[in-house]
Amino acid sequence: MFSPSHFTAVLLFATFASTVFGITQRETPQKMFRYGLYCWALFVGSAIVLSWVMYLIAR
């Protein structure tokens, strides 16, 4: 049975959501790819920043 860690789940969600956003929000394949990477970086970056904020609040 597949039991991913929280970070793996975030990476999977970011990958799938960014793929959908890239395909549906841009017209050309190059723009789709660049927007998908941009969304992916924002998803992963915000998850890392927010996890550190929650860690510091919980201390």
pLDDT single digits (tens) 29-55: 999 999 999 999 999 999 999 999 999
Residue whose tokens read 């959501």: 17
> Under 8 Å CB-to-CB from 12, ≥6 apart: which residues?
4
pLDDT at position 4, please? 85
> Under 8 Å CB-to-CB from 36, ≥6 apart: which residues?
18, 19, 21, 22, 23
The backbone torsions φ and ψ at residue 50, rounded to the nearest 5 degrees and listed phi first, read: -65, -35
**14 pLDDT band (50/70/90 cuts)?**
very high
pLDDT at position 22, please? 96
**Helical segments of 1-59, H only:** 6-25, 29-58
Distance, in Å, from the CA atom of 35 to the CA atom of 40, rounded to the nearest integer, reads 8
pTM: 0.86
